[in-house]
Chains A and B, each alone.
Chain A
Amino acid sequence: MAVIRDVMPAFQLLQPTSIADAQKILDQYGPDAWVLAGGLDSFDWLKDRIKKPNTVVDLSGVEELKGIRETGQGLEIGAMTTLTEIAQHPLIKAKYSLLAQSAELVASPQIRNQGTIGGNVSQDTRCWYYRAGWPCYRAGGNICYADTPVGRNREHAILHAERCVAVNPSDTAPALIALDAKFVIRNRKGERVVNAEDYFVGPEIDITRLTVLQPGDLLTAVRIPATWAGAQFYFEKVRDRNVWDFPLMNVASAMVLSGDTIQQVRVAVNGAAARPLRLKAVENAIRGKQRSIATAEMAGNLAVQGAVPLQFNAYKIPLMRNLVKRSITGVQEATWAS
Chain B
Amino acid sequence: MAARRVRSGSRKKGKQNLVPVFIGVSIIAVLALIMGSGVLKKGSAARGLEPTPNFRVAEYRQDGSRFASSGNVYVFDGRVENIETIGNARLVSISIPENPDERLPLLVQGDTKLRVNLTRGDRFIFETTCRTGKTSEGQQVKGVLIVRNVETK
The judgment on whether A and B are partners is no
Q: Which residues of B contact A (CB under 8 A)?
A: none
